[in-house]
Structure 1
Amino acid sequence: MNSEYTVRSGDTLSAIAQRHQTTLSSLMRLNPAIENPDRIFPGQLLKLPAANEADFSNCEVGSIAQEPPCSEEIVEVVHVTGSDELILLTEAELAEWVEEEEFVCGPITEFYGKLDGLDEGETDSELGVSEGEGRLLSEVQEEKERLIDELEARSVLTNDMQSIPPITEIKRLAGNKHVTFVRSDKIANHPRRYSMASRDRERSKGWLTENGVDPAKLRDAIRSELNIKFNATLWEPDKNGALMTTLNKFYDEASWSIWGDAEARREAVDETGFDASAEAQFMRFAAGAAASGEFDPRKGKVHFQAKAEGQYALAQGKVEVEKSYPANNRSQVRVTYRLGGPDGERKEVSLGHFQAKVRAALSGFAGASALIAANVEVNSSNGIPELKGVAARKDGQGASVDGGVFAGIRAGCELAGALLWTDVLSRKSQWQKLCEIGKKVEGAAGLGGEFQIRLEFSDTTGKFYFNVHAGIVFGVGASGSFLLEVDPSNIVQMLHYVYKALGDVDFRHLELFDPVTDAFGWYGRLSVYALGTGVNLSLAAANLAEQGTQTVISFFNDLSIALSSSLDRERVALEFATNIISDNEKGEESILRHSPPEAKARLLFILTDDFWLTPQLFDGTRTKVQAVSLILQSMQGWRDFEETIVRINESAEPFPQQFDENVRRVFSFIGKNLNDYRLYRKVLHGQRANLVGPVQLDPFSACKVCGIA
């Protein structure tokens, strides 16, 4: 006669079947209303099959002859991932085991179960990236804090998440299709272990063959050695049965066979696709594999159903996602500048919006730390993988080693992709690649509380780098910073970005540039070097990267020597003038139109050395006059002009007292007088740069009014 059972909270159909010594298929057959064995609910009434006629749990006279006297009944076989042993459990031990699995996996399974419904925080937060760093700004972040605290309290995680965690991944081969986890000390020294890796041919004689495991003989060997007997429904004496198929596949998984050669063992591991390393196990635990990692007992393969569409490869302990960030207005980047020089009053200006196309590959301990700790959330709901940065844990708290784990500089967490910027100085105002993530990334030293982004220059690589606060890309709350390399092919976009920044602060002291690496100085030198050699900016940047900084340094040393000789100076000036005129034809990619006042001043110093001569005296003078006229037309406002004129000297340092003299020098060189200058000044004075769209020549018609253009 069938009996009934009321489902309780935490029950699974497979666990109910085990407790009542039946099979999952039997329960499904008796309860046809159940369409999905993973979906039962508390209070649900289930029909159970009649009790088995044979009671193998008692040791009585007349027991089956093959059973050892007073043997313990085994209801479950457990395989420890990566080991060569089976652990055999009695019904009482199984109940304790199920409780242990829930104790270890419960908090993280619960977190992933409610992740989709958690509030991700205020998308339009007014907090800056530095202000919000480390704060708990959303329900997701708060839940992650609670998750780590709970796992540490349960001794599931240690304070140092990069060390081997005290958990072990297991597979219950009979009653649970999922991989799951228990604390390592709970399974240490279990009395009923059977090694399947023995190379003692005498011991394995009979059940271990070239074709794998003989199920009946293995059952007899285990039963005899461990003084046990198996539940009638557990061990099917069928070599094609689910349990035996599973044993054979996992036998291959760990390369246990004493028969196959190395190549055959490798192919067997490739077939199962399962990495048994501790790093991969921790990664699977962190990604909630206990709730999603199923294995097919008949095929011996592990499947991570809920994760497969999200580009998880949890069988190998990896997750890879690609996404554009951010999706809200916190991509707006603000930088500071100074009024009246480096020590003046500090102001703030927006440099527009960033977007990052990021491909993140997380694996091993560092990847698991990124998933569990408060830095990164990977969500694959609806089959769309998302990687989100959330607040770092505060200093002094557990798991603090995860800080900066997505920076691309930790093993196990590789970041690739590009930082994009809406290039407003181009006719096609669209997302343009500004710099790249993950190419020769160096350890960032940090930005300081008041900075979001700094432009740095490396003497070692000869390249520019943007040191970016992680919150710019991953959203408010993220911490850390990383370096993004400006590839020579993207140097034009960098030049546009930097010049746009200078224009927005009206050519004042901009704290975008890192003073330690002299990034601003190298920006100006690169412009002069490109115009002096006649190459485009991308090629100039490539020369700098491939041949090193000495290439540019040697150029300026040779230039200084040439300027000390009248004839050489005339030759060099004519070469510069010719290149400036050619450069003007490049339009949006013109170097001159995106050069700072320091570079323009250096060019005027080279070109106007013979200002006292009659302009028509030498054949090349007309060319130089045209080049000087183009420089004056490139002025985007009064401060651009003023900052240029006061720096017309060999060092390009500002000498305000020389302003009037330098004005006469420049205007006289192109055949103009002070009245022309006054007219030029009347139009340009008080005008600020307005850099929207491609940089225009003579934007306020000052040159046109006084006859220069």
Structure 2
Amino acid sequence: MSGQETPAAQNTLSKNDGNVVDAYHASAVVYFRPETEELIVLTEDACDDFDRHWGELLTAVNDVHEAGKAYSSAVENYGNVFSTPSENAGEEGLEEQATTLQKTLDEKKKALQDKLGDFTPAGYEPVIELIPIITNKKHGRRSGAGSKYVYVKKGYYDQLGTGKKHTVSLKAKDKASAVESIFTYDKNGNRKGIDTQKLKEQITKIEFPKPDTSVELFSLDKEDIGEIDKTLTDWADCWNNSLIVDGKEIGNHIDVSAGAQFMRFTANAGASGEWDAKDGKLSLKGEASAALSLAQGYASATFYLPDRVGWPLLYTPEGANALNMGMLRVYLETELAGFAGASAKIECQLQVTTIGAEQVLMGKRDKENTLPRFNERRVSGKTFHQNMDSEDEGVTGSAELFAGAKAEIGLKGGVQWLQPVAATKYQGKTGEEAKAAAEYVDFCTIGSSITGMAGLGAGATFYCTFLNGKFCFKIAASLCCGLGAKGAFLCEVGYEKLADFGAWLAYQLYGLDYHFFELMAKQAFETFSQICVMLLTDMKDKVIQVLDTAETAASTISDIFDTFQKGMTDGVNASSKRNQLAKELNARPEKLLNFTPEAKGNLLYLLTRHGFWDHVDINNRGDGFIPDIYHDRKKAIINILSSIQTRREWIKVMTHCSKDGTDLALSHPMSEDALVAWQESELRTFLQEGLNRDDELDIIKSRIRDQVAWGYALAMNNTYDYKLAQGTNPLYPRMGEFGPLSDNQALA
């Protein structure tokens, strides 16, 4: 008979002795409940089932953490071998191991989910957080709770009625009958700490319920009070101290709300066996690096989606060959708090939720398990789907889900791509020299606020436009973590990330061999081309200023660009401005690798403008022994032509050699081939002025490839890197670096 089935007293009929009552004297186990500041006294016959209940819950949580740790380690092992070409002989076995451990992790998550119930906007089934104080160990029975934190489901706890569970309030009342709490509060009502002196005073005033005639609840003696005192004051000191770690505040209040208790439960606080695991922080294992502040019950975490290795994203544009967009991944820096925060750690899928103007992360139950197995996505990558379903367009949530962490709910992070490395980095090398050289680089970041982004690319899974002075992205969560994910990451490109965005965009154009890139709004594409040109001139400060202005629209940039073009081609200062533009290009020609064909065409147009003032400009003769008119400009033109990657880009640059970078082929009566030949002749004429350099045009054109060499870094076509890059790089993306997910480091 189980402990729960054992009666407190049993009546036996006897012919000889009459009715005899055998009483079962039960030793109680005492717990402390921080939320209500109560001692919980259990009767003996309730203890066995109570222990089984919380033991199963803690085991289920710990199983998820251990499985997550094993899977994360397998991903890291695979990534290290995969990214080292000379050592990838065991790659298939490691890939299969990661897939197997991913399946195990999913099974452990499902087992935990079955115990917690389905996720709803109201949260999972709450749990009650308890701290064991006095166990049955001293009575010669069980060995005790074995953990400093115990969690039971609230529904189960509430069903333990009188006769099984008795509560004793630790709150004391003074003569005015005002309730005194062991917690201290600030003016905003936040718990700022625990008054240990008051705690000790309250313990001495404990009044246990009087036992009935059949059940002995608890016999309080001096030893018991001392045990309660030591246990609870140690707990209080640790929680007070855990708000500040290494001199840095990692929490600003103590939270015993239902959400905070649930967060500590899912963070595996019950497995630590210590009051303040790692000085008040608890590491969350798996493909998320996080440290939980125990007292406040929230964690600063970094997620990688779908994992650190990332996956190739394949996109098929209309009327063109499929575009391999390279290795992509998303990293998210967020605050995990309450039920919603815990769900992001537990669930197989995620959803991006909007609360007001903030983006937050929540879990979404993935009943279909649509995230492909590790080996599937390594082989097939991620097929791009053009449109989002209407129900996936956006998910809204209630701020109540994030109670206690409203100031920290915003998402940070970015979408990253694995930049290919130059051919000479690894060509013909083995061993240590063949080690990874590529790195994941942000090309857009998740904005701190989504104000004004509503309706951005409605229905699209991937869309880029120019809005509020920034290039803004909408990227469906399903592209990053499977079709079961909901919502979209709304991202932006600030000025500090403009070069990285340009590198990504230039490589996508290269992968398309300079066909139309329909994932970016036409006006935004034109705006980027205009900004590239102006940032090379004395307009740079002006451009940076307007990009930092929320009201800036694409039309604002266009108006500035028109004024800029006029200043570059008309007036007495135009010659010196063109000379300065040439010097800037010659100082760092590699910048051109991140420019669009439209920008390069416009630069050729500006550099070849000349007139009376150019001929009389004494600074327009170079600095060599022999005066050479347009010396710097001719050198800049050669640099522009040397940045061209393929024959098709050559055509696009020539046809966009216009005042504003627009396509002359759309309005010119000539055929495209005739237009290209005419533009080349115009360039020859300019290069023949002074010391003749027109022969270099033919040399450059002859060495340009017909086809894209995908997987190699873009390089000037007069370098060894360009010559070595032929065909498709068989090693890309086997060259990314995959570091460990440190417990205390946000980004590995």
Q: Is 1:140 matched up with 2:105?
A: yes
**Native 8 Å contact 1:419 1:434 kept in 2:** yes
**Native 8 Å contact 2:262 2:342 kept in 1:** yes
Output the amino acid matched with 1:695.
Answer: A
**Native 8 Å contact 2:364 2:485 kept in 1:** yes
> Could you say which residue in structure 1 is the equivalent of 2:346?
372
Q: Is 1:440 matched up with 2:448?
A: yes
The structure 1 residue matched to 2:702, chosen from 670, 683, 691, is 683
Output the amino acid matched with 2:292.
Answer: Y
> Could you say which residue in structure 2 is the equivalent of 1:157?
117
SS in 1 for 2:131: strand
SS in 2 for 1:193: strand
SS in 2 for 1:696: coil
**Native 8 Å contact 2:127 2:258 kept in 1:** no
Pairwise CA distance, 1:325:
7.2
> Could you say which residue in structure 2 is the equivalent of 1:381?
none
For structure 1, the residue ranges without an aligned partner over 5 or more in a row are 1-7, 20-54, 59-69, 126-135, 256-269, 338-343, 377-386, 701-709
Alignment of 1:327-476 (within 5 A): 330-337=310-317, 344-354=318-328, 359-375=333-349, 392-393=366-367, 415-416=411-412, 421-424=417-420, 430-431=438-439, 433-435=441-443, 437=445, 440=448, 442=450, 454-457=463-466, 459-460=467-468, 462-465=469-472, 467-468=474-475
Q: Is 1:318 matched up with 2:298?
A: yes
CA distance 1:105–1:227, change in 2 (3 Å): same
For residues 313-372 of structure 1, the C-alpha deviation after alignment (integer angstroms, 9 at most, x for no partner) is 3443233455777767643344444xxxxxx52422334435666655422222111122
The structure 1 residue matched to 2:515, chosen from 503, 508, 530, is 508
**Native 8 Å contact 2:239 2:295 kept in 1:** no
**Native 8 Å contact 1:468 1:482 kept in 2:** yes
The structure 1 residue matched to 2:259, chosen from 251, 256, 279, is 279
The structure 1 residue matched to 2:529, chosen from 521, 524, 534, is 524
SS in 1 for 2:171: coil
> Could you say which residue in structure 1 is the equivalent of 2:547?
545
Output the amino acid matched with 1:372.
Answer: I
SS in 1 for 2:173: coil
Pairwise CA distance, 1:229:
9.8
Pairwise CA distance, 1:283:
0.8
Pairwise CA distance, 1:83:
0.2
> Could you say which residue in structure 1 is the equivalent of 2:230?
245
Output the amino acid matched with 2:123.
Answer: S
Pairwise CA distance, 1:174:
1.9
Mapped to 2, the partners of 1:421 and 1:631 lie a distance apart of 26
Pairwise CA distance, 1:527:
0.8
Mapped to 1, the partners of 2:173 and 2:103 lie a distance apart of 56
SS in 1 for 2:548: helix
**Native 8 Å contact 1:469 1:479 kept in 2:** yes
Alignment of 1:557-636 (within 5 A): 557=559, 560=562, 568=570, 571-572=573-574, 574-588=576-590, 590=591, 592-608=592-608, 622=630, 624=633, 627-636=636-645
Mapped to 2, the partners of 1:366 and 1:598 lie a distance apart of 46
Mapped to 2, the partners of 1:251 and 1:142 lie a distance apart of 37
**Native 8 Å contact 1:392 1:477 kept in 2:** yes
Q: Is 1:187 matched up with 2:206?
A: no
> Could you say which residue in structure 2 is the equivalent of 1:32?
none
CA distance 1:582–1:245, change in 2 (3 Å): closer
CA distance 1:74–1:332, change in 2 (3 Å): same
Pairwise CA distance, 1:694:
6.0
SS in 2 for 1:194: strand
> Could you say which residue in structure 1 is the equivalent of 2:740?
none
For residues 50-93 of structure 1, the C-alpha deviation after alignment (integer angstroms, 9 at most, x for no partner) is xxxxx9999xxxxxxxxxxx999661333333103333332233
SS in 2 for 1:241: helix
The structure 2 residue matched to 1:79, chosen from 32, 42, 45, is 32
TM-score normalized by structure 1? 0.62
Output the amino acid matched with 2:109.
Answer: K
Q: Is 1:97 matched up with 2:50?
A: yes
The structure 1 residue matched to 2:499, chosen from 492, 498, 502, is 492
Mapped to 2, the partners of 1:307 and 1:564 lie a distance apart of 59
Mapped to 1, the partners of 2:707 and 2:614 lie a distance apart of 32
Mapped to 2, the partners of 1:593 and 1:303 lie a distance apart of 46
SS in 1 for 2:134: coil
Q: Is 1:695 matched up with 2:715?
A: yes
Mapped to 1, the partners of 2:221 and 2:52 lie a distance apart of 27
CA distance 1:115–1:499, change in 2 (3 Å): closer
CA distance 1:272–1:480, change in 2 (3 Å): closer
Output the amino acid matched with 1:482.
Answer: F
For residues 430-485 of structure 1, the C-alpha deviation after alignment (integer angstroms, 9 at most, x for no partner) is 4264346555253797989996x65443x22x233555555776689866542454
The structure 2 residue matched to 1:645, chosen from 651, 654, 657, is 654
CA distance 1:566–1:303, change in 2 (3 Å): closer
Mapped to 1, the partners of 2:36 and 2:238 lie a distance apart of 10
Mapped to 1, the partners of 2:270 and 2:326 lie a distance apart of 44
**Native 8 Å contact 1:105 1:181 kept in 2:** no
> Could you say which residue in structure 1 is the equivalent of 2:373?
none
CA distance 1:228–1:546, change in 2 (3 Å): farther
**Native 8 Å contact 2:24 2:215 kept in 1:** no
> Could you say which residue in structure 2 is the equivalent of 1:222?
208
Mapped to 1, the partners of 2:236 and 2:9 lie a distance apart of 29
Pairwise CA distance, 1:280:
0.9
Mapped to 2, the partners of 1:545 and 1:439 lie a distance apart of 15
How many pairs align? 573
Mapped to 1, the partners of 2:501 and 2:35 lie a distance apart of 50
SS in 2 for 1:238: helix
Mapped to 2, the partners of 1:586 and 1:284 lie a distance apart of 53
Output the amino acid matched with 1:636.
Answer: Q
Mapped to 1, the partners of 2:54 and 2:309 lie a distance apart of 43
Mapped to 2, the partners of 1:216 and 1:615 lie a distance apart of 92
Mapped to 2, the partners of 1:616 and 1:302 lie a distance apart of 74
Mapped to 1, the partners of 2:367 and 2:449 lie a distance apart of 24
Output the amino acid matched with 1:170.
Answer: L
For structure 2, the residue ranges without an aligned partner over 5 or more in a row are 12-22, 83-100, 136-144, 183-195, 241-249, 351-360, 371-390, 426-436, 621-628, 721-748
Pairwise CA distance, 1:651:
4.7
Mapped to 2, the partners of 1:533 and 1:302 lie a distance apart of 53
Larger radius of gyration: 1
Pairwise CA distance, 1:643:
1.3
Output the amino acid matched with 2:153.
Answer: V
Mapped to 2, the partners of 1:328 and 1:575 lie a distance apart of 46
Pairwise CA distance, 1:549:
6.8
**Native 8 Å contact 2:26 2:45 kept in 1:** no
SS in 2 for 1:275: coil
Q: CA RMSD in A?
A: 5.8
The percentage of counterpart residues that share the same residue type is 19
**Native 8 Å contact 1:75 1:91 kept in 2:** yes
The structure 2 residue matched to 1:168, chosen from 128, 135, 140, is 128
> Could you say which residue in structure 2 is the equivalent of 1:50?
none
Output the amino acid matched with 1:496.
Answer: A
**Native 8 Å contact 2:58 2:151 kept in 1:** yes
Pairwise CA distance, 1:655:
3.5
